[in-house]
Amino acid sequence: MNSFRADLHIHTLLSPCADLEMSPANIVNKVKKTGLQIIGITDHNSTKNALLVKKLAEKEGIFVLAGAEVTTKEEVHCIVFFEFEEQLIQFQQFLEKQITIIPNPDGYFGYQPVVDENDYILELIPNYLPAALKKGISEVQKTVEKLNGIFIPAHVDRPSNGLFSQLGFIPPGLKFDGMGISKFSSEKDVRKHYVLGKEITLIRNSDAHYLQQIGEIYTEFNIENICFTEIKMALNQQNNRFVKIQ
């Protein structure tokens, strides 16, 4: 097995809470300096900048999981990823159909630009992207599962928008590949506080909204080679693949 550094929770400037310096090109340039080999692009309820980051990163030998950070009906944040562009497009259609429409006039909540590789604006999303979907966490999870994606409740230890702060428990039958914890907690404390067994894989990511945050913490994936299937196996502790928080 080989060890690879991963930061699976990074926002581009498409997220209204992210710095406008978080363009796809700037993110890739920053990642090159950090030593990260795997990153996840997770804008709020949108995948529209993810494929460009993937395209630019591949030229630099960096593997990108393309996806989104979903806000469920219960306002639980979950990060999701897909292997193929077709699956990503289908999930984008699901997001656009299910999101609660809250106007964002003149970037009141923050600007939400879709850009090209030269940082030219292609589109400004008019509605507030972090708004909750009309579907609950179980329905979102099943949609991701049907598309053979990766589903991870994000920063479950946070006092807001985490699985436990919003629901207080893991819904019966909810399938997930792992759980994310914030940079402010340790794996030991989270497992003890929420009584999470070793069979649940925990990952810790930067949740970067600014360039300097990318890679400030990372998770180590012990896998044979870098690909979607190997990453998913490691999250599920299959075939001697595993994840280790640094």
Q: What is the pLDDT of residues 46-75, one digit of tens each?
A: 999 999 999 999 999 999 999 999 999 999
Mean local confidence (pLDDT), 188-206: 96
- The pLDDT assigned to 176 comes to 98
Res. 101 pLDDT band, cuts 50 70 90: very high
- Read off the pLDDT of residues 131-166 as tens digits, 9 standing for 90 and up: 999 999 999 999 999 999 999 999 999 999 999 999
pLDDT band per the 50, 70, 90 thresholds, residue 189? very high
Q: Is pLDDT at 10 greater than 90 in this prediction?
A: yes
The predicted pLDDT at position 213 comes to 98
Kindly state the percentage of the chain with pLDDT values over 90.
98
- Average the pLDDT over 11-32 and give the result: 98
Q: How far apart are CA 26 and CA 202, in angstroms?
A: 28
The single-letter code of the amino acid at 3 is: S
Picking from 110, 108, 114, the residue whose alpha carbon sits closest to that of residue 47 is 114
Encode 56-78: b = buried (16+ Cβ within 10 Å), e = exposed.
bbeeeebbbbbbbbbbbbbbbbb
Judging by beta carbons within 10 Å of its beta carbon (0-12, 13-18, 19+), is residue 14 exposed, middle or buried? buried
Q: Please report which confidence band the pLDDT of residue 246 belongs to, taking 50, 70 and 90 as the band edges.
A: confident
Share of the chain above pLDDT 70, in %: 100
Mean of the per-residue pLDDT values of the chain = 97
